[in-house]
Amino acid sequence: MSSAYDPNNIFAKILRGEIPAHKVYEDDAVLAFMDIMPRGDGHTLVIPKLPARNILDIDPAALAQLIQAVQNVALGVKAAMGADGVTIQQFNEPAGGQVVFHIHFHVIPRFEGIPMRPHSGDMAPPEVLAAHAAKIRAVLAN
Ligand code: AMP
């Protein structure tokens, strides 16, 4: 069973500017920023600005807008990181692997022969995240 949206989740705090994030793209409807525990170099998260817990409660029109942003970010991340491929992940409810309860899509650059690192593994150094974010921002700005 799914629960109500909690406005104190960590991504809501990022949206309100209460905690920092390495942002790579933003418009009226969506925000994209670096995952702090990247499963691949350049791992980026894409979230809507409106409150939605996950795919089970988001308005379908907002989901359509969000997935278009995911495609755009995936193209930008792949180009910026020089990746060979991209893995998209999205988890729903604890049983589905969800940890943060504001809907988000993972955009994970993939490189031939390099496995993904584990979910919720190590935090990347801030300077590494900042460097990857700068590369991705530069591509997405064009
Ligand atoms: P999940 O809900 O399973 O998709 O996992 C949440 C994801 O959010 C994980 O990949 C975490 O590394 C990531 N994460 C958690 N806190 C932050 C944060 N403050 N900034 C960026 N990414 C985060």
36-78 pLDDT per residue, tens = 999 999 999 999 999 999 999 999 999 999 999 999 999 999 9
Tell which atom from ligand 1 comes closest to the C-alpha of 14. 19
Which atom of ligand 1 lies closest to the CA of 101? Answer: 2
Average pLDDT, the chain: 95
What pLDDT does residue 120 have?
Answer: 66
Q: How confident is the model at residue 3 (pLDDT cuts 50, 70, 90)?
A: confident
CA of 125 to the centre of ligand 1 (A): 15
Q: Is the pLDDT of residue 81 over 90?
A: yes
Q: What is the pLDDT of residue 121?
A: 75
Q: What is the pTM of this model?
A: 0.97
Q: Is the pLDDT of residue 35 over 80?
A: yes
- What is the 102 CA–ligand 1 centroid distance (Å)? 10
Q: What are the structure tokens assigned to 116, written together?
A: 């993904």
Contact of 32 with 128, CB cutoff 8 Å: no
Residue in the structure block whose two tokens are 């600005």? 49
Percent of the chain exceeding pLDDT 70 equals 98
CB of 107 within 8 A of CB of 56? no
What's the 90 CA to ligand 1 centre distance in angstroms? 11
Which pLDDT score, from 0 to 100, does residue 2 have?
54
Please name the helix (run of DSSP H) or strand (run of DSSP E) that holds residue 63, with its range, or none: helix 60-81
Residues 6+ apart with CB under 8 A from 30: 46, 47, 48, 49, 65, 66, 69
- To the query of whether residue 43 is one of the catalytic residues in this protein, the response is no
Any idea which residue has 């792949």 for tokens? 78
Q: Which of 22, 43, 102, 104 is catalytic?
A: 104
- Higher-pLDDT residue of 117 and 78 is 78
Check pLDDT > 90 for residue 107. Answer: yes
Give the residue, out of 11, 34, 35, 41, with the most ligand 1 atoms within 8 A of its beta carbon, to mutate for a pocket test. Answer: 35
